[in-house]
Amino acid sequence: MLWWSSSQPGPAGHVPAAVGLLHNAAHVPAFAAFAVLAMMALGGRRPWGRRRAAVAFALACTYGLVDELHQRMVPGRACSVADLGADASGAALGLGLLCGVVAGAGRARLAVCVSAALALAAVGAATWTSW
C-alpha cells in the first residue's frame, strides 16, 4: 500500500496548505503501523525487547529512505528529508506506544513525547519548507 501510494503522480499546480499538511501528516501513522507490524513479525522469546524495537525501527527507516528515493522518479513527487523525518518519528512513536502500552516500559513515555514533538516538527517542515 505504501509503495502504491508513493507511485501516484503528484498534483499539478499549487496544493492548498491543508491538503499538504494532511498528506505529510499521513506519514506518521503509516510508519508507526509499519514499525509496529515489523516488530510483531520479528517474533522471538522476548516479544518487546530493545533489540527487536531497534531492528523494527531500522526496517521502517530503511523502507522510508527507499520510498523517498523511489519518489524522485515519479512525476510531480519529490525526495524529501522532512518526509523521511516524519517516517522515522512515526516509527519511533508507534514503537514507543507499543512498548509503553503492551510492555509497560517506563521509558516509553519519554520516547512517545519526544517522538510526537519530532513528528510535529517534521510534518511542519515537509509542509512549509522545501527540504
pLDDT digits (tens, 9 = 90+) for 93-112: 999 888 877 766 667 778 88
| Domain coordinates in residue numbering, the chain | 25-128
Q: What span, in angstroms and rounded, lies between the C-alpha atoms of 37 and 94?
A: 10
Q: What span, in angstroms and rounded, lies between the C-alpha atoms of 84 and 28?
A: 10
Q: What is the pLDDT of residues 71-84, one digit of tens each?
A: 899 988 888 899 99
- Distinct helix (H) and strand (E) counts, the chain: 6, 0
- pTM for this prediction: 0.86
Mean pLDDT, rounded, for 55-84: 92
12 — pLDDT class (breaks 50, 70, 90): low
Contact 2, 68 (CB under 8 A): no
47 — pLDDT class (breaks 50, 70, 90): low
Q: What is the pLDDT of residues 19-31, one digit of tens each?
A: 888 988 999 999 9
